[in-house]
Amino acid sequence: ILAMAPMLSYQMLLVISLLQSGTSMETETMEAFTASSSDSSTFVYTDDFPVPELGKLHSDFTNLPTNATEVLIKVFCSSVNPSDLSTDAYLKPKPLGSDVVGTIVAINGSSRFSIGDVVWGDIGANADLASDPTIVSKELGAYAQYAVALDTQLSLAPVDSISLFEACGLPKVALTTYKALVWYAGAPWPQSVGGPRSPRVLVLGGSGGTGSAAIQLAVYFGAASVATTTSSGNFDYCSSLGATQLIDYHTTDWQDVFQEGDLDIIFDTVGSAGTAADALALLSKSGGRFVTIAGALAPSWQVPAGTTQNNFINSDTNLASAPQLSALKDIVDAGGLAMPSISVYGLDQTSEAFATSKAGHVVGKLVISITNDTEVS
């Protein structure tokens, strides 16, 4: 490998290293960023947390997909999502973290995967506790050198098309956007001549992780135009993703930019009070759709005829997201999706990454390198 290094890209070297170092178990403890309670003061980095055992998920949770097989992943990287900044009080202590990219090193039964496969997924699913199925808790575990996941929530990672760090920033935000647009906004949208016209889309919060994915996927799925709200300093970034109309939320209310019927789809990643009612008033009354992942819906009497509204939480549907991840891999491979703005932190810097996320205004994603290699290439 060393002799070949000058001929190989940094990305290829990382994949080779991940594959070669990731197909054996040589330790009973691992580095991890863990929580021992719901109190964020207990969120700490440790270098001696027990490596999780296969079977753990079926022991901790019930009502899992009947065809799910547990796999053990040697994790390369994860990322920070708003939902990662807090946790409940159940099944503690445990590592935090949702997004995962890594190598499968063990399989607990029959699976479509093989040892050595490089996979990606979002293991921050909400699931019913085995001890009390009336209680829902988070799965988690990606901020660690090893993580157990269900094969039903993984697919092969698009490591030939984008960097591993970019891949780490995508699963949750891409799944959230994909499901929101496909399940609730009718994507992909017709492109036939003489057929229904392509929709005019507004993404609220275009420079964050979900917004970055939303602009790109809206373009990929055939939107006629994609407007977005962001700060003026992020105009070039959002334009590079495919946004065709840019609204500086510091100086302009997006509600004042559009007239009734100007928009067909509004995707809200911000969740400001009153957004639903304002959005519904501007949507086309011939199939206009409002989808939010962060805010409340409007009361039914404020929903005009010909429009719909939906509130969507990705983690509620993430125990069996393999088909959507596979579709997203194809989109990445086709050049339709990436995460071009990333900042990389080592696992032992996760607290610092959390502080940056809580401060707000992150452009793109904050990635956690489990190997503590923070070089981006």
pLDDT (0 to 100) of residue 27: 78
Alpha helices in 297-349 (DSSP H): 322-333
Mean pLDDT within 348-361: 94
- Write out pLDDT tens, residues 45-79: 999 999 999 999 999 999 999 999 999 999 999 99
3-state secondary structure labels for all residues of 195-250:
CCCCCEEEEECCCCHHHHHHHHHHHHCCCCEEEEEECHHHHHHHHHHCCCEEEECC
266 vs 279: CA distance, rounded Å: 7
pLDDT-derived band at 18 (thresholds 50, 70, 90) equals low
Is residue 58 classed as helix, strand or coil in its secondary structure? Answer: helix
Asked if residues 25 and 106 have their Cβ atoms less than 8 Å apart, the reply is yes
Residue 12 has pLDDT above 80, yes or no: no
In Å, what is the CA distance from 24 to each residue of 15, 56, 115, 146, 273? 16, 19, 9, 11, 50
- Write out pLDDT tens, residues 219-268: 999 999 999 999 999 999 999 999 999 999 999 999 999 999 999 999 99
Tokens 């100086």, located at residue? 251
274 vs 24: CA distance, rounded Å: 53
Residue 348 has pLDDT above 50, yes or no: yes
83 vs 125: CA distance, rounded Å: 11
Task: Name residue 197's amino acid.
Answer: R
Half-sphere exposure of 200 (CA within 13 A, CB side): 13
pLDDT (0 to 100) of residue 182: 98
Is residue 189 classed as helix, strand or coil in its secondary structure? Answer: coil
Q: What percent of the chain has pLDDT over 70?
A: 91
253 vs 164: CA distance, rounded Å: 37
pTM of the model: 0.92
